[in-house]
Structure 1
Amino acid sequence: MLNFNAIHSRIQYLRIAYLKLGLQWLAAIVISAIILGCSEPQLTNSAFKGQTMGTFYDIKVAHFPLTTSEQSSIHAEIDRRLEQVNEQMSTYRSHSELSRFNLSPTVNNFPVSEGTAKVVAESIRIHEITSGAFDVTLGPLVNLWGFGPDNLPQQKPTTAMIETAMSRVGIQHLSNTKHTLSKNIDSLYVDLSGIAKGYGADVIAEYLASLGIENYIVGLGGDLRAKGINANNLGWQIAIEKASTTEHSVQHVVAVGDNAIVTSGSYRNYYDLNDERFSHTIDPTTGQPAQHNLVSVTVIHPSAMTADGFATAFMAMGEEQAMRLARQQKLAVYMIYKSGDSFKEMFTEEFSPFFQPDEH
C-alpha cells in the first residue's frame, strides 16, 4: 500500500503546461521535486497512457512527487478501474453486465453494479431533457448501420429493416434502481457508448482526487476532465479542433478550469457506401444517420459523463434545435456547423468565459 498521507506532507508543488489538440497530445513536463527521506528518485510530474473502450487514454498528473514504484501502482489501478467499466458496460464483451442484460428476456431487477445503474439513470435524465434525442436503446439501429460490434453493412438498410430495428427501441421500456435494471420487452438492447467514456473519465478523475492529487488532466478519447493549474500559472488549456477530415488544426483554445470538456463530431466517424456518406450519429425520429449541418459539438460541464451525453444528443438534434435547448438549459456549449462551402460557429453565453482573452 502507498502511504499517500505521508507523501502529501512532503510535497512541493510546481506547475505543468499541457495542451490537448484533437486526439494529439502535446505536453511540456518540468521534473523538479524532492521528497525528504526517500532514497528513490521522485518524479513531480507523471504520465499514464494506455488503451480502453476502443480508444486511448492519456493522463497527466502535475506537482505530485511519486517514486517509480508508486507510479507503477497508480498506473495499475487506473487500468483496473477502466477494465471494470468495460466489464460493466461494454457491448463488445458478451459477459459484461450490460451484454448479459441485453441478452436477457423481459426482466425485473436484473442485478448490476452501482456504476452501470448510475450511467443508465443519467441517460434517462438526459433523454427527458432532450425530448428523446439521446436514447441509449438505439443499439439495434446503431448495429444495423454498422457503428456497433457488427461489421459494416454491405448495402444500405432497407425501410423494412429500419422499421424492425425501431420496434425494439424505446427508453420507456427501460428502468433502474441504484443496483438493478429492468426492461419490459425481450428485445430491448441498451448501448451506453454515447456516455460511458465520459463516465470512465470521471471514475479516474475521482480516483486521482482520492489520492490528494490536485493538478491533473484525464483524457479518454475525446472526453477530458481537468483540475488545477499548469506550469505557466494558468489552468489547463484545451484545443478545439477544426472540423476537417484531412488535417489536425486548432479552431480555438479554451481554459476549462476544474471541469470536463467533451467534443462529439461527425466529420471523422463515418463511412461511404455506394456514393452515400453515413455518420455515426443516429436520429431517433427516423432511425437513420442524422442529416443536418452540425459537424461538431463541444460541451463543458463539471461531469464528463453528463457532458458526453449532451454532446451526443446535440449531434443528433442539429444546430438550431440543439443551440436553443443548450441556451434554455444554460449549458456551456460550442458548435461548428456547415454553411455552404464553409464552416461557421456559435456558442452559448455560458461558454464565453472559457475562451482565451485574445480569441473572443
Structure 2
Amino acid sequence: MGTIVQLKVYGKNSEKVAELALKRISDIESKMSVNIKSSEITKLNAKAGVSGEKLSVDTYSVIEKAVKYSKLTDGSLDATIEPIVKLWGIGTDKARIPSKSEIEEKLKLVDYKDIILDSKNSTVQLRRKGQAIDLGAIAKGYTADEIKKVLIDNKVNSALINLGGNVFAVGSKPDGTSWNIGIQNPLDTRGQYLGTISVTDKSMVTSGNYERYFIVDGKRYHHIFDPKTGYPSEAGLISTTIVSDNSIDGDALSTSTYILGLSKGIKLIESIKGVEAIFVTSDKKVYVTAGLKDSFNLTNKEFTYEER
C-alpha cells in the first residue's frame, strides 16, 4: 500500500488475529493496487474502451463507493485520476512537473462518469481507451474497515489500526479509557503533532500535503490532485482529518474536502450525519466541526484555534 502498516491488537489470541489481519491487507492490495500487474484494477485498466472486467466483491464495492463520493463532491474525488497521477510520478523516482499541454491531454481522460457499473454481473468498464482507475483515495479506508471486521469476528474488542494516516481506534483502550490520537503537524516531520483527539471506536483519516511530494524552486508539489485542473490542489488547506464510524467514508472525504477547500469542505461535512472534521489552513489556523469541540486539544502554539 506504499505505507507503513501498524497494528496494536490486545487480547488472548492477539498475535494470531494480527496475522489474519495482515493476510486480509495483502488480499485487498493484490486486487486493488495499480502497481501490481496481476491485480483486478490493472486488468480493468488494460481493457479501457474495449470491454468490462468481472471483479471481486471487494473491488466492485470500492469502485461503487468511489463513484458515490464523486457525485456527492461534484467530482472532487475522481477514481479516474490515474493518468494524471502517472504523469506526475510523485512518490516515484520519475517525479517531474509535466508541461501544460501534457496535463491538458491527460485531463481529457479524467471523468468518473465514464465508469460503467454493472451490479448484476459485478463488472466495471471504462468508456474510453487510455482511461485508468486509481483507488488510492479510498482503498486504505476500505482496508481499515475490513481489518476491523477481522478483529471483531475474532473477539478482539481493543485494537489500534494505523495504515499511514488512516487510523482506526477499535473499541477503547484495554483499561477502558478512550484512545488519544495525535494529529500530524503538516509543517513538521512525521510524528510531530499539532494536537490530540480523544476517541472510542472511531476512524480518523488525515490527508495532507506532507505525505508524498517533491520540491522544485522552493515550491512543494504534493500528491493530492484536483481532478478539474490536473495540478496538486491549492485550495488553502494543508491538512484535513475526518472522524467517522467507517474509514472508507473518512478516506474519501479527507481527500475531497482537501480539494474543495475550507468553506465548501465544512459545508459538506456538516451535511453528513455522524461525520466530523479538523481542517488546517496554510495560515496555521485550525477549524473543528461542532461534534469534536470537547474531544480535540490543540497543543502546538504555532497554530490558532478558530471558532466556527
Normalised TM-score (structure 2): 0.89
Give the alignment partner of residue 212 of structure 1, picking from 155, 167, 190: 155
Distance change >3 Å, CA 357–CA 152, structure 1 → 2: closer
| Contact 2:168 2:204 (C-alpha < 8 Å) held by counterparts | yes
Q: Match for 1:65 among 8, 12, 34?
A: 12
Deviation at 1:352, TM superposition (A): 2.4
Q: Deviations over 1:63-89 (max 9, x none)?
A: x223xxx72x43432222111111110
Instruction: After superposition, give the CA deviation of every residue in 1:170-198 in whole Å (9 maximum; x if it has no partner).
Output: 10100324422122112210000111111
CA RMSD of aligned residues (A): 2.3
Worse-matched range after superposition: 101-110 or 87-96: 101-110
Residue 148 of structure 1 and its aligned partner are, at CA, apart by 6.6
Displacement of 1:224 in angstroms is: 1.3
In the alignment, is the contact (CA less than 8 A) between 1:139 and 1:148 conserved in 2? no
Determine if contact 1:142/1:148 at 8 Å carries over to the other structure: no
Is 2:187 aligned against 1:244?
Answer: yes
Q: Which residue pairs with 1:55 in the alignment?
A: 3
**Equivalent in the alignment of 1:172:** 113
Identical columns (%) = 26
**CA contact under 8 A between 2:17 and 2:150: conserved in structure 1?**
no
Partner of 1:352: 293
- Please identify, of 312-321 and 241-250, the stretch whose mean Cα deviation from structure 2 is larger: 241-250
| Contact 1:173-1:183 within 8 A present in 2 as well | yes
> Which residue of structure 1 lines up, in the alignment, with residue 77 of structure 2?
134
Q: How many residues align?
A: 298
Q: Find the counterpart in structure 2 of residue 338 from structure 1.
A: 282
Gap runs ≥5 in structure 1: 1-52
**1:106 and 2:49 aligned:** yes
TM-superposed CA distance for 1:109, in Å, is: 4.2
Kindly name which structure, 1 or 2, has the bigger radius of gyration based on alpha carbons: 1
In structure 2, do the counterparts of structure 1 residues 286 and 224 end up closer, same or farther at CA, with 3 Å as the change threshold? same
Note the C-alpha offset of 1:324.
2.3
Distance 1:74 1:86, change over 3 A: same
Q: Does 1:87 align with 2:30?
A: yes
* In structure 1, C-alpha distance between the alignment counterparts of 2:30 and 2:19, rounded to whole Å: 16
Distance 1:93 1:65, change over 3 A: same
Other structure's SS at 1:288 match: coil
Q: 1:326 aligns with which of 244, 254, 269?
A: 269
Q: Is the 8 Å Cα contact of residues 227 and 236 (structure 1) preserved in structure 2?
A: no
Cα distance in 2, alignment partners of residues 170 and 164 from structure 1:
13
Deviation at 1:302, TM superposition (A): 0.9
2:47/2:53 contact within 8 Å kept: no
The aligned counterpart of 2:238 is 295
Q: CA deviation at 1:249?
A: 2.5
Given that residues 245 and 268 in structure 1 are in contact (C-alpha distance below 8 angstroms), is that contact kept between their aligned partners in structure 2? no
CA contact (8 A) 2:158 2:174 kept: no
| 1:269 lines up with 2:212 in the alignment | yes
Give the aligned residue type for 2:78.
D
Match of 1:253 in 2: 196
2:101 paired with 1:160: yes
- Partners of 2:202 and 2:61 lie apart in 1 by 19
Cα-to-partner distance string for 1:120-172 (whole Å, 9 max, x where unaligned) = 1111111111111001111111111123767212xx31121011101111101
In structure 2, what residue type is equivalent to 1:58? Q
Which has the higher mean CA deviation after the structures are superposed, 222-231 or 73-82? 73-82
Query: After superposition, what is the alpha-carbon deviation per residue over 1:253-291, rounded to whole angstroms, capped at 9, x for unaligned?
Result: 112221111011113422112443211111112111112
